[in-house]
């Protein structure tokens, strides 16, 4: 077991840390206040190769490993939680399935643009009546010559308002349940595709969350991802990777909160000394730091397993990805909550970023699979080992 970073991993960690300090920390409060999508920042992230970190260079990516990917997402999310999910979705919910399941033509024409940041992607699985029960899709795909016609509504789509391409899941035959699901890469300018409701959210306001409506949208069969009936497996496999990214986002948000709490405790005086001298405060800081490190180990282990799975198809990481997201998101909730407690009344006010971190952390327990679904995935895998 080796806990050392490779040279490449150390390099991307430092680069994204510097980027976050220079480009994200100064604007994070404004993005939260206005809900503005940080177009200029996303363009720079693309130029730095951070929108297709694990995609091979021949398809426009940086060709790094998934441990590098989680190091980068943690640093970016420490700077701005909303920007963290923009990056995570494009990397792991969009580039990753196209790289794994796409045709050579799809990779050359579409993945290259998405991984290099020239275009942005989104992932449309959830529906108003199919969230945790992802197999209960109602969006229909009907074959018509060399096209498929899509009808239905997707919701809670990160990057929905800005995306150029969308990885979409639909049903060909509801009687087949999850085996009737098909997947496509749909250009967002396809006639019949429109962005619907833009959600007003508690946190991660720099990223858009929208519904996407398909009304007789004709998609060429050449844009099908995988084969008919493979859609559910593609979605689940993709979400295994996505959950590692959200775990890393949760780490970054929690780290930002810990930093605010520690700096405040060193300056704020009570009972004649900085509150950092109080054992009560030290207990809080010790728990926050320990939980954060434990979560990081789980996230990095899942990412390392995903790296092994690239070359060894027998390697599975669903359980480890679910454990990482479950623990990191609940840790992030607890750490950001405690940070507010350390700051007291100031923690509750916008003068300090602690309240933003608390709001940003909350979604990590919900999207890309709730904590309840993560427990279900972990338990199913543990039970399987004994039966
Ligand atoms: N990888 C590949 N295949 C998998 C898999 C995995 N991790 N997990 C399951 N499968 C396959 C199974 O092998 C099985 O295949 P066969 O029928 O061929 O044998 C099939 O999928 C069905 O498996 P299950 O019976 O376990 O499926 P289920 O219907 O019980 O559902 C579930 C399991 C875990 C509840 C799943 O529905 C799930 O993960 N739900 C949560 C969905 C989710 O995370 N949504 C978030 C959407 S993205 C988002 O948040 C938006 C955003 O922009 C951030």
- Confirm whether 368 is a catalytic residue: yes
Cα separation of 49 and 64, whole Å? Answer: 10
Distance CA 124, CA 114 (A): 16
Compute, in angstroms, the gap from residue 245 CA to the centroid of ligand 1: 17
CA-based max dimension of the chain = 79
Res 181: pLDDT? 98
Name the closest-CA residue to atom 29, ligand 1: 135
Query: Could you check whether 122-225 and 236-385 share the same CATH topology?
Result: no
Pocket of ligand 1, candidates 81, 101, 124, 134: which has the most ligand atoms within 8 Å of its Cβ, to mutate? 134
Query: What does the domain layout of the chain look like in residue ranges?
Result: 7-120, 122-225, 236-385
Q: Tell me the best of 180, 233, 368 to mutate to test the pocket of ligand 1, counting ligand atoms within 8 Å of each CB and taking the most.
A: 233
**DSSP annotation of 59:** G
Ligand 1, CB cutoff 6 Å, lining residues: 89, 123, 125-126, 132, 134-135, 156-158, 178-179, 232-233, 236-237, 239-240, 318, 367-369, 373, 376-377
pLDDT tens digits for range 47-97: 999 999 999 999 999 999 999 999 999 999 999 999 999 999 999 999 999
So what's the pLDDT on residue 1?
Answer: 82
Which pLDDT score, from 0 to 100, does residue 35 have? 97
CA atoms within 13 A on the CB side of 272: 0
pLDDT of residue 41: 98
| Residue 2 confidence (pLDDT) | 85
Q: What is the Å distance from ligand 1's center to 235 Cα?
A: 7
pLDDT digits (tens, 9 = 90+) for 138-151: 999 999 999 999 99
Query: Which architecture does CATH list for 236-385?
Result: Up-down Bundle (1.20)
CA dist., res. 337 & res. 281, Å (int): 14
Ligand 1: centre distance to CA 49 (Å): 30
Residues of the chain with pLDDT under 70: none
d(CA 127, CA 133): 10
- 359: which 2 tokens? 């709001």
CATH number for region 122-225: 2.40.110.10
pLDDT of residue 226: 97
For residue 122, give every residue at least 6 positions away whose Cβ sits within 8 Å of its Cβ, in sequence order, or none.
Answer: 89, 93, 94, 157, 158, 159, 160, 163, 165, 166, 167, 212
- When the candidates are 3.40.50.970, 1.10.540.10, 3.40.50.200, 3.30.930.10, the CATH number that belongs to 7-120 is 1.10.540.10
- The CA distance from 337 to 348, in Å, is 10
Which position among 330, 365, 368, 372 bears the catalytic label?
368
Q: What is the distance between the alpha carbons of residues 175 and 182, in angstroms, rounded to a whole number?
A: 14
Are 245 and 90 in contact by the 8 Å Cβ rule? The answer is no
| Contact between residue 81 and residue 357 where contact means Cβ atoms under 8 Å apart | yes
C-alpha 77 to ligand 1 mean position (Å): 26
Give the dihedral sign, CA 76/77/83/89: positive
Query: What distance in angstroms lies between residue 383's CA and the mean position of ligand 1's atoms?
Result: 17
**Closest C-alpha to ligand 1, atom 21:** 233
């Amino acid at each position: 077991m080796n806990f050392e970073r490779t040279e490449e991993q150390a390099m991307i960690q430092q680069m994204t840390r510097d980027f976050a300090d220079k480009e994200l920390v100064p604007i994070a409060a404004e993005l939260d206040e206005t809900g503005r999508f940080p177009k200029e920042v996303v363009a720079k992230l693309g130029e730095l190769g951070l929108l297709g970190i694990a995609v091979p260079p021949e398809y426009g990516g940086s060709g790094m490993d998934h441990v590098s990917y989680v190091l980068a997402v943690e640093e970016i999310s420490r700077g701005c939680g909303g920007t963290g999910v923009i990056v995570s979705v494009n990397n792991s919910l969009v580039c990753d399935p196209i790289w794994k399941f796409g045709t050579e033509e799809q990779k050359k024409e579409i993945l290259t643009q998405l991984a290099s940041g020239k275009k942005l992607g989104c992932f449309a699985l959830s529906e108003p009546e199919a969230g945790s029960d992802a197999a209960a899709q109602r969006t229909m795909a009907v074959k018509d010559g060399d096209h498929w016609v899509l009808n239905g509504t997707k919701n809670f789509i990160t990057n929905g308002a800005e995306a150029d391409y969308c990885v979409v899941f639909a049903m060909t035959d509801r009687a087949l349940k999850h085996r009737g699901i098909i997947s496509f890469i749909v250009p967002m300018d396809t006639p019949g595709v429109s962005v619907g409701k833009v959600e007003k959210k508690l946190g991660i306001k720099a990223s858009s969350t929208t519904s996407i409506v398909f009304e007789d949208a004709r998609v060429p069969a050449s844009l099908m991802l995988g084969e008919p009936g493979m859609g559910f497996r593609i979605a689940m496999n993709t979400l295994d990777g996505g959950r590692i990214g959200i775990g890393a986002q949760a780490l970054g948000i929690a780290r930002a909160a810990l930093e605010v709490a520690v700096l405040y405790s060193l300056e704020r005086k009570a009972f004649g000394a900085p509150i950092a001298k109080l054992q009560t405060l030290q207990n809080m800081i010790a728990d926050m730091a320990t939980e954060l490190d434990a979560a990081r180990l789980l996230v990095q282990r899942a990412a390392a397993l995903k790296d092994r799975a690239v070359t060894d198809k027998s390697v599975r990481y669903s359980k480890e990805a679910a454990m990482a997201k479950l623990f990191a998101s609940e840790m992030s909730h607890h750490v950001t909550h405690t940070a507010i407690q350390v700051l007291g009344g100031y923690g509750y006010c916008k003068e300090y970023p602690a309240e933003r971190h608390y709001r940003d952390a909350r979604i990590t327990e919900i999207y890309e699979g709730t904590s309840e679904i993560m427990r279900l995935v972990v338990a199913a895998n543990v039970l399987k080992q004994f039966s």
